[in-house]
Amino acid sequence: MLAARMHEYKKPLLLEQVQAAKNLSGERVLVKVGGAGICRTDLQMIDGYFREYLDLELPCTLGHEIAGWVEEIGDSVPENIIKKGDLVVIYAAWGCGVCPQCKSGSEQICGNGKWAGFGPEGGYSEFVLVPSYKYLIKVDKESNLKPEDIAPITDAGLTTYRAIRKVKHILGPGKSIAIIGMGGLGSYAVQYARILSAGSTVLAFDRNDDKLDLAKENGADHVINIKDKKSEDIRAEVNKATGRTEVNAGIDVVGTEESIAMGFSMLATEGAYVSSGLVGNQIKMPLFPLVSRELQYYGSFWGSYNDLREVMELAKKGLIKHHVQKFGLSEANDALDLLREGKILGRGVLVP
Amino acid sequence: MLAARMHEYKKPLLLEQVQAAKNLSGERVLVKVGGAGICRTDLQMIDGYFREYLDLELPCTLGHEIAGWVEEIGDSVPENIIKKGDLVVIYAAWGCGVCPQCKSGSEQICGNGKWAGFGPEGGYSEFVLVPSYKYLIKVDKESNLKPEDIAPITDAGLTTYRAIRKVKHILGPGKSIAIIGMGGLGSYAVQYARILSAGSTVLAFDRNDDKLDLAKENGADHVINIKDKKSEDIRAEVNKATGRTEVNAGIDVVGTEESIAMGFSMLATEGAYVSSGLVGNQIKMPLFPLVSRELQYYGSFWGSYNDLREVMELAKKGLIKHHVQKFGLSEANDALDLLREGKILGRGVLVP
Amino acid sequence: MLAARMHEYKKPLLLEQVQAAKNLSGERVLVKVGGAGICRTDLQMIDGYFREYLDLELPCTLGHEIAGWVEEIGDSVPENIIKKGDLVVIYAAWGCGVCPQCKSGSEQICGNGKWAGFGPEGGYSEFVLVPSYKYLIKVDKESNLKPEDIAPITDAGLTTYRAIRKVKHILGPGKSIAIIGMGGLGSYAVQYARILSAGSTVLAFDRNDDKLDLAKENGADHVINIKDKKSEDIRAEVNKATGRTEVNAGIDVVGTEESIAMGFSMLATEGAYVSSGLVGNQIKMPLFPLVSRELQYYGSFWGSYNDLREVMELAKKGLIKHHVQKFGLSEANDALDLLREGKILGRGVLVP
Amino acid sequence: MLAARMHEYKKPLLLEQVQAAKNLSGERVLVKVGGAGICRTDLQMIDGYFREYLDLELPCTLGHEIAGWVEEIGDSVPENIIKKGDLVVIYAAWGCGVCPQCKSGSEQICGNGKWAGFGPEGGYSEFVLVPSYKYLIKVDKESNLKPEDIAPITDAGLTTYRAIRKVKHILGPGKSIAIIGMGGLGSYAVQYARILSAGSTVLAFDRNDDKLDLAKENGADHVINIKDKKSEDIRAEVNKATGRTEVNAGIDVVGTEESIAMGFSMLATEGAYVSSGLVGNQIKMPLFPLVSRELQYYGSFWGSYNDLREVMELAKKGLIKHHVQKFGLSEANDALDLLREGKILGRGVLVP
């Protein structure tokens, strides 16, 4: 089978033939890739951003946002759950199965886990091997969902869902939530914010007017271009939009030192902030407001299988707008370059 | 001032002149009634249903759902908060102020509290005295809300809000919530269910097709007429509507032994039920499913001041449809009779 | 291997030779039974109490509370996690692995699960086959725990732990918790109540003074013999003990209509009740207090793997007092008879 | 009456005669001070640390940790709740009464509140005026508690209680909690950690061996002197003590940039950190672990009335060890100097 593989850090991927898995035993499933999302994390992997935490054995195949069709199943896969031909999304975080995190369903934060596309071969390929049918979610035929649309939901559209779930308890009528960053993740976040925020006002922050226009289409009540603006200025715009200078929740899908400091400075008393973006390395902010206003700060990482199940339910109901740009497997490097230059609106997806 | 007063149990109210409060001291506020909702509880008061728990000193003025204009304020009311002429709703549960419930904001379940219209003079009157400005919520002029529309929100529209808040933690995409009973409370409940349920499917149950039609208008995804149907039949209809024979949450605004047993029997594993209705006297249901499926059952009573604040935020945003039928103070007994006969669609409101 | 097996409902078990599992594949583990707890549920299985919900394929081997030593492991069991000779407890609820309950770690309420001793062969035997090492918890040698002591922890000592965890959020200084029933489960519950209740007062209710004496030893602050007493009398004793006539939480490990009605009637405003016992079939109680005092009622069933992990942590720290009575495999029927007659203090355990 | 009053920033207090309140109206209560705790915050007030956020109108009387006897009551104080001669503690955070925080009982974070000793006259005085009996908690005579012992509970012993309550949901058997800083607050925190942590292991961190010895007496399972140690070294000691190199919760009562960075670096996956101390101005820490391990960070400020009620329940049960050093009103400046030099073990208290 063909795969676009990483052979060296900071170098383009190479398109090459590799052997697909055969004669599956046990719970294993081979999935024919229908769409593989191209994530900023993939760029960061190639650039070596995560090397300190996870040093890849090369060559390897990237791609952790995968949807496709079941091609072959192992002998202990129950066919009433998964069978050949089913359209599925892959939950790509495969934990140890015994730690407290795995045993409560948060396999993505297992300290001994493996993730498709981060060691185990990923989705930039014609086929991908999944260690158990228990990592798949079947998509009903009647839903008319296409693999290229739902592939990004397994990470971009999952990470943001979990991030917003973390602050759901403080939202409600009269409250507001700001999504900081309208890139691949932000466009999902705005949509989820409407659904999960129990009547809160949804604000979108970005430096790019095109992305903010898309945010409006996706359901943001108000959008604010924060380019070159100070906290006071942004607060004034928040006030104009909502009648209050502060927000109750902030979801940061950018992850720079500046975005965090700015977003945090907007929080009302008892407000909550979630970092799910990772670009910068450091958090720097004043201590006094955190303490005296009893603020809350949550890290949020990817999502659990149940989170993905819920996101897929939204997709099945047609409650998620997909914004994807398709590329062939041979265009993987071009697509990564476009992403690096910020020229992809929505999410890039490889369709082998 | 004129008031429609209760002089005897099980007898019509009498319309009569009584003295309005004057020369207010401290935090007190006199409100000119703009609308007073007619609640099933008022009927039950007259009929003696609550007499075992609360024996009224007669004569007294009923009416605990009140909106109106500030007529006069005490000398320690801060005018930047409340001033003459303001349109306000009254939070009518006035607790002791020191018990654990009061100190966490749930004054409506204070064991030593008083409630307007249940002892202290209520809203079936031209004016009503409120012991503190801290029990008022000011309504912005720009909202264009009318007192007759928002009066019922302080109980019918508050009780249901709190009831649904109690199960918010188990709702989300792929889940479902059933509202049982489409009377005065149910029509609010359906609307809140849409807003608070984070993408759950909203079902409305009743025995009356007209009320179910209204439920559809109010946003129910599916309506089921349960008249003369067994649990299995209702489950079959739930299945047809949602693809599953069970619901994740049930909100019971009826409160009969039958409604509770039926609603509870619909619950999925880890499902939750809320009783906020009070008509019958008893709960009777099988033990095994409660234990083996880890069901949850919550009593919910009226609402807190913060609940009312949130409901008013929804109203200000135009997110609540009001269904009221207006009556003059002199028509109070007629309105009560219509309510008893089930002939009021939405909520009856006295407009002095 | 020898096993005490059930061949017919309502008949004594038969001691017989059966074939032990051999040549284990995959994640399977064979455990040499060191202790198998004798549970009231086993009696109820034999008596047919659960037959409506679960009709056993006979003959079968009962016993779901199992501790022992690893005898053999399958080829994909990682030896750094589990290896031959390890002392382990068995988490005996084996779910489907994909439903929302399994994926959040509550396999014991999986709608498609299997449980050792309820179909799959259980612990009344010399050996038991476990489908995955992921259902074992290893016990450190230094802990000096004995299998006969920790076997009952996997159900009697687990069920009560989870039950108390369900009301942990309402407990704290100035609050009280009553454990209703001082049988095999109650003696654990009292101990956990001390540890988990954040300074609450712990009350033990029973009809038997010997059991109440044991409850005192296990850490109950006050014990109350409720035999032939009305709610008012019990409230008076609660008042004498705590200065208040009500309790904030009740844990019912009995499960009769009477125990539930009595316990529920003791609850203070915002109080919570947990049913984890199953003897009777029905719940019957008044509606008004549930609603007007905003009571909460939770079903609780067995426990999750993480619950068992936490209970084992308490055991390792020496924080659980074990009260067991040992029997040989050939004495299984005698032990069941003693249990039926209420003559076992603490828990009976079969030691093959 | 005599009072030790602040006339200028960074200058000693002056002991002088001022007029006590007379002829109380409404809900007001005059309390004869029996003990007024000397808090690090008082030093910081004098030094101007908070001046940016709260500029005092001078002269004023400091002292927000107050216990004493009711001297006089207003005409609407219900004597069944509070009467002359009662021993009381004062809840010193007096909110606006209408904001969402006040209406849910967290008056200490009201944006428009007033606090005794931070504007309104405080407890460094013979008498103090409290605006409502609703801010008092009566102490039973039988409890034998002394005002000098319980005064510090209203802040030092309250702040730490709330801080630990914020992480209660993640604690339990097999978990650990580290208290960072064994000063006036830390000695309470260690005691509460034992009671609230549901069987977790309690660690105490400080740079001073005497304070760590006291922590052991107060119930810490392990103490670690962190002076001049790096994170790795501290982790090694944590490992020696608990078998794991990380802790699940950290409570920071110090509040320097260093203490926060060090404490945060100890957290296990899904761990939680609470800042309740305020000395430094800034938070600085790496982003990656927060996100990838889903850490949680909470600010915690003083406590609510209900928190104080619960702390007083612990005190009444004799579950709090008091470590106070008494000073006369005329020794206020000496006491402040000793505190500045770190020479007070436990809490200094003025006894007029």
pLDDT of residue A346: 79
User: Residue B265 burial by CB count (10 A; 0-12/13-18/19+): exposed, middle or buried?
Assistant: middle
CB pairs A-C closer than 8 Å: 31
The answer to whether residues A88 and A106 touch, using CB atoms and an 8 Å cutoff, is: no
Q: What is the pLDDT of residues A256-313, one digit of tens each?
A: 999 999 999 999 999 999 999 788 889 999 999 999 999 999 999 999 999 999 999 9
Contact in structure between C105 and C113 (CB atoms under 8 Å): no
Identity of the amino acid at A255:
G
Confidence class for position A7, pLDDT limits 50, 70, 90: very high
Interface test with C, best of A79, A89, A96, A98 (most C CBs within 10 A): A98
Structure tokens at B228: 């003369």
The answer to whether the Cβ–Cβ distance between B293 and C270 falls below 8 Å is: no
Query: Taking 80 as the threshold, does the pLDDT of residue D75 lie above it?
Result: yes
Q: How far is CA D136 from the centre of its chain?
A: 17
Query: B283 with B106: CB under 8 angstroms?
Result: no
Beta strand C60-61 with C2-6 is antiparallel
pLDDT score at C280 = 82
Does the pLDDT of residue A345 top 80, yes or no?
A: no
Write the pLDDT tens digit of every residue in D283-331: 999 999 999 999 999 999 999 999 999 999 999 999 999 989 999 999 9
Q: Which residue has the higher pLDDT, B109 or B281?
A: B109
For residues A33-48, give the mean pLDDT.
94
Q: Which band of pLDDT confidence, cut at 50, 70 and 90, is reported for residue B342?
A: confident
pLDDT at residue D49 tops 90 = no
pLDDT in tens, D85-118: 999 999 999 999 999 999 999 999 999 999 999 9
What mean pLDDT is predicted for residues A131-153? 96
Please determine, for residue A53, whether its predicted confidence score (pLDDT) is greater than 90: no
Q: Report how far Cα B197 is from the mean position of its chain's Cα atoms.
A: 19
What integer is the mean pLDDT of B112-118? 95
On average, the pLDDT of chain D sits at 95
By the 8 A CB rule, do D61 and D350 touch?
A: no
pLDDT value at residue C55: 84
Under-50 pLDDT residues of chain C: none
Shortest alpha-carbon distance between residue A78 and chain C (Å) = 10
Each residue's pLDDT tens digit, C287-327: 999 999 999 999 999 999 999 999 999 999 999 999 899 99
- pLDDT for position A262: 96
Q: CB neighbours (10 Å) of residue B306?
A: 20
In terms of Cα–Cα distance, which of A312, A307, A304 is closest to A95?
Answer: A304
Answer yes or no: is pLDDT of D343 > 90.
no
Cβ–Cβ below 8 Å for A196 and B196: no
Which single residue is written with the structure tokens 């022992």? C68
- With a cut of 80, say whether residue A214 has pLDDT above it: yes
DSSP D131: S
Closest partner residue to D174 (CB to CB) among C198, C199, C313 is C313
Please state, for a pLDDT cut of 90, what percent of chain A lies above it.
89
Element (H, E) at C117: none
> What integer pLDDT is reported at residue D236 of this predicted model?
97
How far apart CA B89 and CA A120 sit, in angstroms, is: 61
Q: Report the gap between the CA of B150 and the closest CA in chain C (Å).
A: 24
pLDDT of residue A54: 82
Inter-chain residue contact C292 with B301, CB threshold 8 Å: yes
Residues of chain D contacting residue A286, judged by C-beta atoms under 8 Å apart: 281-283
d(CA C283, CA B227): 25
Percent of chain D whose predicted confidence (pLDDT) is above 90: 89
> What is the reported pLDDT for D46?
94
Question: Å from B153 to nearest chain C CA?
Answer: 19
Chains near B, with 3+ CB pairs < 8 A?
A, C, D
Task: Report the pLDDT value the prediction gives residue A140, as an integer from 0 to 100.
Answer: 92
Q: Least CB-CB distance to C276: which of B100, B288, B291?
A: B291
Which residues of chain C lie closer than 8 angstroms to B100, CB-CB? 270
Q: Which residue of B has its CA nearest to A164?
A: B198
pLDDT tens, residue by residue, D231-278: 999 999 999 999 999 999 999 999 999 999 999 999 999 999 999 978
Q: Convert the pLDDT of each residue in B230-281 to its tens digit.
A: 999 999 999 999 999 999 999 999 999 999 999 999 999 999 999 997 888 8
Per-residue pLDDT, averaged over D341-348, amounts to 86
Cβ-nearest to A305 among C103, C304, C306: C103
- pLDDT (0 to 100) of residue B280: 82
pLDDT at position B188 is 95
The confidence score (pLDDT) of residue D344 equals: 86
Say how far apart CA D352 and CA D330 lie, in whole Å: 8
Which of D172, D309, D311 faces C310 most closely, judged by CB atoms?
D172
What is the average pLDDT across A243-261? 96
CB-based contact A198 B198, cutoff 8 Å: yes
Tell me which H or E stretch contains C232: helix C231-242
Provide the pLDDT for residue B300: 98
How large is the angle between the packed helices D156-165 and D186-196, nearest 10 degrees? 40
Alpha helices, H only, A218-318? 231-242, 257-265, 287-292, 305-316
Which residues, in sequence order, are bridge partners of residue A277?
none
Chains that touch C (3 or more CB pairs under 8 A): A, B, D
pLDDT at B346: 79
Please determine, for residue B345, whether its predicted confidence score (pLDDT) is greater than 80: no
Amino acid (one-letter) located at C130? V
pLDDT tens sequence across A183-212: 889 989 999 999 999 999 999 999 999 999
Is it the case that residue D35 has pLDDT exceeding 80? yes
Q: Which residues of B touch D81 (CB under 8 A)?
A: 98
Report the neighbours of D using a cutoff of 3 or more CB pairs below 8 angstroms.
A, B, C
Residue A183's pLDDT is 85
The residue type of C117 is: G
Task: Choose between D50 and B122: higher pLDDT.
Answer: B122
B157 and B311 Cβ atoms separated by less than 8 Å: yes
pLDDT interval class at B49 (50, 70, 90)? confident
Question: Structure pTM?
Answer: 0.96
